[in-house]
């Protein structure tokens, strides 16, 4: 386990519901090749805070890598809805671009 993961886990002990820290930890898991742990964290974030737009993109990319194209498409679509609701045009455009690559 990397030092970064250990540090993030220590921060999470003090703030277990911090979506930013959970998201950062999930990204570290992806770097290590642990998609299972990353997926669980992204799903936990989005279940608790569906407006946490950044996690949709990374979860959908993970789903694509795992071969679950249908679920990736749904994740991109939920992310686009969340980005639109948040007024985050940049995130919306990134999600839409990834969605288009997958669906066309």
* pLDDT tens per residue, range 44-100: 999 999 999 999 999 999 999 999 999 999 999 999 999 999 999 999 999 999 999
pLDDT of residue 1: 64
Domains within the chain, CATH numbers bracketed: 3-103 (1.25.40.10)
Q: How far is CA 99 from CA 5, 10, 33, 50, 102, in A?
A: 30, 35, 23, 18, 5
pLDDT tier, 2 (very low <50, low <70, confident <90, very high otherwise): confident
**Distance in angstroms (rounded) separating the CA atoms of residues 93 and 89:** 6
Cα atoms in the 13 Å half-sphere on the side-chain side of 20: 2
pLDDT of residue 57: 98
18 vs 2: which has the higher pLDDT: 18
């Amino acid at each position: 386990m990397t030092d970064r993961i250990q540090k993030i886990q220590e921060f999470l002990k003090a703030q277990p519901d911090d979506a930013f820290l959970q998201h950062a930890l999930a990204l570290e898991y992806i770097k290590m090749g642990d998609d299972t742990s990353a997926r669980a964290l992204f799903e936990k974030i989005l279940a608790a805070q569906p407006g946490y737009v950044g996690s949709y993109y990374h979860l959908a990319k993970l789903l694509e890598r795992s071969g679950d194209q249908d679920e990736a498409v749904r994740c991109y679509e939920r992310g686009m809805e969340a980005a639109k609701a948040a007024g985050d045009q940049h995130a919306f455009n990134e999600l839409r671009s990834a969605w288009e690559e997958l669906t066309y």
